[in-house]
Structure 1
Amino acid sequence: MDLILIRHPAVNIDAGICYGATDVPLLCDAAESARILGERLLALNVPPVKGGWHTSPLSRCRLLAEAIGHVHVDARLQELNFGSWEKRRWDGLDRALLDTWAADLDHSRAHGGESVAQLALRVSSWIDEISRDGRPVHAITHAGVIRVLTGQLLGVPRANVIQWPLDFGAIVWLRRVRGEWLLVRWNA
């Protein structure tokens, strides 16, 4: 089974703003982003889509998926909810709260939103459900979802995988072979 995870394109919001669960607009046209993505997928020889694109309901993902083809919107693919930090500048947040969160990324909810462990549970639920038939799965989602899911599938600690660079529009390709997940491409 192949799992292709695509991070949404760049968004039209000031750099340094926390916007996990906030619905922010794309910086560029979704149709043009879809065209470029299609070319990149072909160049990488990614398996074709069968059964449609899975996508987060947030417009920065959903609009790209809709521009490509048939979509399955699933809230489990939404980015981490940062609670009271949403729409605020990262450098304006209380340093002690940031340190509390960083000290226990899995369980801390210093912002009052969702913990990384909660994100991991809903993403696990999604992959368990959609991977049953073994067909390739293509999803347009968010950096947090991609990092957490990749870490789970590869057995990499979350504290490590969340440090991996992941560009806007990045393609992550995983493949399950004889029950084990392998990383084919990261940040392609």
Structure 2
Amino acid sequence: MNQTETITYTETLYAGRVVHLRLDTVTLPDGKESKREIISHSGAVCIVAVTPERNVLFARQFRLATGGTLLEIPAGKLEPEEDPAACAVRELEEETGYRTGKIVPLFAAFASPGYTTEKIYAFLATELTPSQTNFDEGENIELVTIPLSEIETLLHSGGLTDMKSIAALYSALPLLQLSFPQ
């Protein structure tokens, strides 16, 4: 069954620093025409980072879009054409002040494919060594460490409301249990 939609016209509604909003006119497989509002985004990375002391690193920060402060794993926006693993290494150091000696890809997935092109690349970072933070302009991040032994409880308690953090932590748990046995 053909489900492909063909773009016949694109109108840029907004071009910002982080996202672009466009309105696409598409032809559906049955020949009818429809409109699609699409947010273009260069993509992002998120990192499950575990210290040698078996602590997982989190960033606590206010997120205006949610109206509150969230607990998230370190993350950041990909620059155009940037390698996701290189971005993860950079963002980890910028946000947490730790360098990683080992970075392992966990998954790559679309954030919300119904309306955005944003793809998130998740990584597991271990063999961490202290360095220095280098926050982006306007970032106000509190570094939080949570023992690895408490992560499953945190996930099941509803203490995290950031989807990329939840997905990456669940994805990393089997690897963490092998790498850091109780």
TM-score over 0.5 for the pair: no
- More helix per residue: 1
Q: Give me the TM-score of the superposition, normalised by structure 1.
A: 0.27
- More strand per residue: 2
Q: Which has the higher contact order (CA 8 A, sep 6+)?
A: 1
| Larger of the two Rg values belongs to structure | 2
Q: Give me the TM-score of the superposition, normalised by structure 2.
A: 0.27
